[in-house]
Amino acid sequence: MDYVVAVLAPQLLHGLVFGAALGLLALGLTVIFGLLGVMNFAHGELYMLGAYAGIAVIGWTHSFWAALVAAPLAVGLIGAVTEVATLRPMYRREPLYGLILTFGLALVFREGVRQIWGGDMRRILPPFTGSTPILGMTYPDYRLFLLAASSALLLAIWLFFTRTRAGIVVRAAVQDAEMLDGLGVDVRRVFTLTFAGSAALAALAGLLLAPVFTVYPQMGVEMILLAFIVVILGGMGSMGGSVVAAFVIGVAQSLFSLWMNPQRVAIAIFGIMIVVLIVRPRGFFGREGVLE
């Protein structure tokens, strides 16, 4: 019982916290994948840009909360401009070109940030410290806030996609953009706004996780692979699947780290991935035969 309270429970909660933030990142990735058929390699850099934009806003206003609003907006704007300038001509091309293009974008963003802010590790202080007793242990308040905020966002996104007209239009574009175009919807605007939204979500995830992790130009590279894994595990293009898979990976990673050193954890996660891809390539909730 002591083991459960002192070791297992905090680790489980860590996993949920991380999983919720990972879900925000993976959700944007999966929607873009559904729209463009492209794994957005620059998604990790948008996540990183969120954290750096946060640093900039905090340096200016000294308020984490202002950053939480302004940083995703700024990165969303960057996303919109990027989409119009570079991705729009890619719609009718082979997905491979989109892959290379986003790879190039990632290089530009990463190096741009290094030029502006330098390559050192940085920290963002949590907006509040202290901890709360919960389930017989004490847990940092900020992480609880992180879990609550991410979960609320995930819920809001779910409501957006199921209850609002705009959300249904985006889902329709994921299903069949050409048909939607035929029905008189301005698909290009949908694509741009969706890309901006996915960029803003990635930025939000980056900023929310920044007080828990460290901020450095390479931070996106480390996360993007995990986010890819989540997207595949959940089933390509399945939004619900991505969220479930994000929690599974988050919890699995933090529980594994109780018994293994970090590289074994990474290898174990990759191992799960390989088995899933071989046995059930469409993931948890993916449609059969998509891109197979």
Partner 1 sequence: MSRVVTWRAALVFAVLAALPGVPGISQYSLLLAFDALLFGAIAMSLDLLIGYTGLVSFGHAAFYGLGAYATAIVLERGVLSLWACLGAAVLVVGAYALVVSYFATARRGIYFALLTLIFAEVVYTFFRYTQTFGGSDGIQGLPDARLWPGAAIDTPLRKYYLVLTYLALAYAVCRLVVTSHFGRVLVAIRENEDRARFLGYSVQRYKMAICMISALLTGLAGAIYPMRSAFATPDLMLWTESGEFIISVMIGGLGTLVGPVIGGAFFTILRDKVSSYVDWYFIVIGVVLIVIVLFMPRGLLGFRRLLGFKQWRATA
Nearer to partner 1, 142 or 191 (CB): 191
**244-263: which residues touch partner 1 (CB under 8 A)?**
261-263
Helix (H) or strand (E) holding 18: helix 9-36
Q: Residue 117's CB: how many other CB atoms inside 10 A?
A: 16
Nearer to partner 1, 155 or 291 (CB): 291
* DSSP SS3 for 255: helix
**228-247: which residues touch partner 1 (CB under 8 A)?**
228-229, 232, 236
The candidate with the shortest Cα–Cα distance to 122, out of 203, 36, 56, is 56
Nearer to partner 1, 41 or 64 (CB): 41
Residue 223 lies near partner 1 (rule: CB under 8 A): no
Cβ–Cβ under 8 Å, residues 29 and 39: yes
DSSP per-residue codes, 123-160: ----S---EEEETTEEEEHHHHHHHHHHHHHHHHHHHH
Residue 281 lies near partner 1 (rule: CB under 8 A): yes
Nearer to partner 1, 99 or 144 (CB): 99
| CA 221 centroid distance within chain | 12
Cβ–Cβ under 8 Å, residues 283 and 292: no
Site string for partner 1, 93-132 (x = CB under 8 A): x-xxx-xxx-xxxxxx-xxx-xx-----------------
Q: Tokens standing for 179? A: 């048909």
Size of the site for partner 1 (CB under 8 A): 43
Residue 91 lies near partner 1 (rule: CB under 8 A): no
Q: Where on the chain is the footprint of partner 1 (CB under 8 A)?
A: 39, 41, 86, 89-90, 93, 95-97, 99-101, 103-108, 110-112, 114-115, 221, 225, 228-229, 232, 236, 261-263, 266-267, 270-271, 273-274, 277-278, 281, 291-292
